[in-house]
Structure formats: structure tokens, C-alpha cells
Structure 1
Amino acid sequence: MSRAFCIPGILFLAFALILSFLTSISLPFLPALDITRTQFSSGVIETGQKGLTEVRFGVWAPCYYDEDGSRTCAKAGHGYKFGISNQEKTANVIIGSSWTQGLAVHPVATGATLIAFALSFSQHATVTLITSLTSFLAAFLTLIAFAIDIALFAYLKHQVNKLPNVNAKTSPGAGFWMTLVTFVLLLLAGCTVCFGRRQQRLAGATSYPTLSSEKKPFWARFRKN
């Protein structure tokens, strides 16, 4: 693959891999890299606990902040659930595991990105093709993960707004936007590698010797060498 396309393709995949890896770790290991969060100004408690000021949802666990400013994270696991009730305990909502199980697509997309990144160092034409296809596969998986993030964000916002006498603001977290950037980088990487392979094929086609187009007279065929 042409160096003009090789280096940018590797860089796109490297940045995408870093962002995807950090997003996959998420909560409770990296509390700042949540998928979505809700901030409460008043009138809400986590089921059976103190009053909350904020709750964050990550790939593996939720974390919440109480009125004292301390952070508590649930045990890491796949497909967790989280319950919230208003201060009077007259209503409650539960973010079920069906809305968080799909977040496990994030590490799957990270694995595909890692494979594409490892293959991107090869100059072989077949491996280059596989690299491009793997990059697009990783982009597709990342798109699925981003769609799941959007669904969780929309559902959380809808459920929290159902609680009476609760002032809440739901917004996407850092992991949400990092997933979007990762998707764009993977698309750029796949296209860059694809264009580089096409240029390599065109360069190979023009490198073969061409036949002379000069026409010889008929009697030249009977001449002795």
C-alpha cells in the first residue's frame, strides 16, 4: 500500500483503538468515561439509599454520588439494573438489565479494531484488503454500540422524567461521544486503506512493459535476422 495512505490509515486505527479501549473499560474502573448520566437538583433517592445528586451509567456498572459528595459504584457485571425513586417514595423507576446488556458490544468492537490495527502494518495486497474489510466491520460494530448508547440515554431520560417532584437533567457522557468519534475514525481508516490498495493495484498495472505499437511492413516478416 502507498505510504501516503499507509501512515494515515495506521494513525486512524491507532486513535480509534485507544478511544474504543477506554470506552470499553468505562465504569466502575474509569468513572469519568460513562455512557450517560443524570444530575438531580432535588427530590430523588436511589432505592433504599441516601439522596442522590448524580447517577452515571457505564458499560459494566452504574455509579452514583450522594449528598455528601461521595461516590458509590456497583459491582462490575454484565447486564446490571438500577432503581431510582422520588424522595417521598411514592414512585420509582428501574433501568432494567435489558437496556444495559447490549453495552457489551463495546469490547467486541474494540477487539475488531485491534485486529484491523495489527493487520494495517502489512503491505501485502491480500492482507490490505482484509484490513479494509475488518475496519469496516469494526465501524459497523461501533455503530451498533452507539445505537445502544442512544437507546439507553433516551430511555433513562424518559424514565427519570416520570418521577414526580424531581428536578433532573439527563445528558450523554464522555463515553457516548468517544464512541461516535471512534466510528468516524474507523470509517476514515477503512476508506484510506481501500484507496491505498486501489492505488497500489494501479501502480502495479502500469509497471508492466508495454508492447510496441510500431507497425512493420509486410515484407519485413521475410527478412533474415
Structure 2
Amino acid sequence: MTTVLQIKTSLSDTGNANRLVDAFITQWRARHPEDRILTRNLGRNPIPHLNETAITGFFTPAERRTPEQRAAVELSDELIAELQAADVLVLGVPMYNFGIPSTLKAWIDHVARAGITFKYTENGPVGLVQDKQVFVLAARGGIYSGTPQDTQTAYLRNVLGFLGMTDVSFIYAEGLALGELAKDRAETAALGQISRLIDSRTITTAGKPVDV
């Protein structure tokens, strides 16, 4: 059984990126009804941004933490446990002011923990969150893929790779604010790409045949 962790970050439940995640999970369930689906809706239930309490708590021995530090570390530990338990990570990412939602950045900051999800060595940093497949569902009002305005793709590849997740596929739905025809075309193309990627994973995972 595969565990899928879906992260929703649209401000609205009906936001474009959330709808892409819903479509992805619907198609996934149709092919893998036995799989376990975990959900984090950061738009509906945002997690706090890092602050001094959380940071000092990370580097304070457990027995010396204040109640506030313990609470902050427990939240980070919970988010990391969800990520570590997942075989597949699905990120729904709208573009807000040319960047990722601040709620997603907060999630990243909570799961990027030295000594737990990455470590520094004499040969450089090593990601410890490995053997996962990541799908990034990127929804944009304009068309930015392949341009300098697309700050999301490089950042997410870098930070996910830093944590050890290098098998990352991006699915773009762009031009969603450029009229109904453009929106329909973009969504249809994205749904088709989702279907092909899921079908491809159904046949092979990390180069190894799987039961289907």
C-alpha cells in the first residue's frame, strides 16, 4: 500500500490549485483504491510561521524546553512524521505575487530540520527525505513557465532536492485569468498530464515494476 500526502495551499477551498489536487487524488484513487491518503489543507488550517520560540526549541534539549517550545517542536515533528510516512507527495501551488504561498513556506520551514530531514557533512549537505515521488500542481493566472518570472519552479526543485526529494514532476495550469477559453484549455491539458503521469507510475515506480 502506498501512502500519498497531499498539501493544499490555496486560500480558498475552491482555488485553482486545490481543484488540481482534488482531480489528481480522484484519478489516483480510481487506479489505487487501496492506498492511504493524508491531507494537509494549509489554506483552511494554516500553520504558524517560524518564530524565535520554535527555532530555539529545535536546538534545546527536550528536557529543558519550555511548554511553548515543546508545542512548537511537537508541531514540527508531526509535519515531519507525515512527510516521512509518505511515498508520494502532492503539492498544490498557486502563484501569489510571483512566489509560493507563505503557508507553504511555513510548512517547508517546519519540515527542514537539521539532523532530521537533512544533515551537513564534510562533503556538503545530504538530504534525508529520500525515495519519494513528488508531483507539483502549479496554478497560475498568467503564463510564466520557462520565464524569469517563474520563481516557484527553481525554488521548489532546490528545496525539495536539498531535503533528498529529486524525483519531482511539475504540472502547470497557466493562463487561468486570460479568459474562459484559455482557462479551459489549460485545465484540460493539466488534467491530461496528470492522467499520463499517474498511469506511468502505475506501471513502474523508481524503475521497478509494481503490481497493478
TM-score calculated relative to the size of structure 1: 0.23
Whose helix proportion is higher, 1 or 2? 1
Q: TM-score, normalised by structure 2?
A: 0.24
Query: Whose relative contact order is higher, 1 or 2, with alpha carbons under 8 Å and at least 6 apart?
Result: 1
